[in-house]
Amino acid sequence: MKAAVYYQPGGPEVFRYEDVPDPELTPDGLLVRVEAISIEGGDTLHRAAGELTATPHVVGYQAAGTVLAVGAQVSGFAAGERVVTVGTDGSHAELRVAGQRFCWKIPAGLATDTAACVPIAFGTADDALFEFGRLQPGETVLVQAGASGVGIAAIQLAHRAGARVLATASSEAKLARLAGFGLDQGIDYTQADFPAEVRRLTGGRGADVIVDTVGGQTLQGSLSCLAYRGRCVSVGDAGREHGTALDISALRPNNQALTGYFLGAELFLGDRAHQAIGRHLADIAAGDLRVVIDRSFPLSQAAAAHAYLESRQAFGRVLLVP
């Protein structure tokens, strides 16, 4: 099969488009012909500095396509069905094998490329808001990087739950587009000090729940604009400041909480998150929630696609198509 591979971590230029061996079907796995690959933020971080599980390495968490074969222990899936899959690597290829507990059937009427964008973004947003953020109707949410996949999902879910939704983005143009997804008020972080703006917009109170995909100094700013008993959920390091030391001295006197979140652990350890993602797929198929695809690139142009995503020009998801 063809795949976008690399032999050492680095910038997008490390990608090579090469023939590699087909993946081997596992007893509990599905062999899938990949038709759409959603590039996740974690994919770019892993390519930049992650550990290689093989050489050459095929990066990538999430992809959708058609089942070609199922393992002997698989139930509930069959060859010919369309599925969306997640895994620790291997999405940037023409074929992938994924364990059945990390696969979801694509509802009739939902396009494969749209489904390819759903599990990580909507599963992460849902858990950050409700399972770990404990969001209640009438509370105020701040979504960092509102124009990202997780950001657009979180804005919609928080709005649907009856929250007041604030979000940051890198331009007024992006914020204007987010209004159509349920954003109440936006903050252009390139022009304003976002913690001060959150305080101003909330009459000094701060945000009850913050979904932070950026990390680093942005995460420190998020902590500084939490409301009393506020909950900040850290779900990523898109700002590439992994390991930044944080001052958490204000959390205890204000009864605030900072929680780290990783969707993969929830999928490994139980069925709750898997079932929630299934519901989101159904809601998107019904038109109750929306996915935004900014741009698609051929798999052979993985370097250009990663560079575009890292340029922060995208609004929504960037796809690769084998």
Residue 142 bridge partners (DSSP): 166, 210
User: Which tokens belong to 202?
Assistant: 């909330």
Q: Is the pLDDT of residue 225 over 90?
A: yes
Closest by CA to 171, choosing from 153, 184, 189, is 189
Q: Concatenated DSSP letters for 39-53?
A: PPHHHHHHHHHPPPS
Helix (H) or strand (E) holding 58: strand 57-58
Closest by CA to 264, choosing from 48, 90, 49, 120, is 120
User: Which tokens belong to 295?
Assistant: 């741009």
Give residue-wise pLDDT tens across range 179-195. 999 999 999 999 999 99
Q: Concatenated DSSP letters for 1-42?
A: -EEEEESS--SGGG-EEEE-PPPPPPTTEEEEEEEEEEPPHH
Phi then psi for residue 173, to 5 deg, are: -65, -45
Give residue-wise pLDDT tens across range 246-287. 999 999 999 999 999 999 999 999 999 999 999 999 999 999
Given pLDDT bands bounded at 50, 70 and 90, which one contains residue 238?
Answer: confident
Given pLDDT bands bounded at 50, 70 and 90, which one contains residue 237?
Answer: confident
Q: Is the pLDDT of residue 241 over 70?
A: no
What confidence score (pLDDT) does residue 243 get?
65
Q: Is the pLDDT of residue 244 over 80?
A: no
Contact 220, 226 (CB under 8 A): no
Contact 168, 143 (CB under 8 A): yes
What mean pLDDT is predicted for residues 16-35?
98
Q: Is the pLDDT of residue 240 over 70?
A: no
What mean pLDDT is predicted for residues 204-214?
97
Give residue-wise pLDDT tens across range 72-108. 999 999 999 999 999 999 999 999 999 999 999 999 9
Backbone conformation region of residue 33, classed left if phi is above 0, alpha if psi is from -120 to 50, else beta: beta
CA 234 to chain centroid, in Å, comes to 12
What mean pLDDT is predicted for residues 287-304?
98
Which domains does the chain show, CATH number per domain?
A: 2-117+292-321 (3.90.180.10), 120-264 (3.40.50.720)
Give residue-wise pLDDT tens across range 116-146. 999 999 999 999 999 999 999 999 999 999 9
pTM of the model: 0.96
What confidence score (pLDDT) does residue 239 get?
59
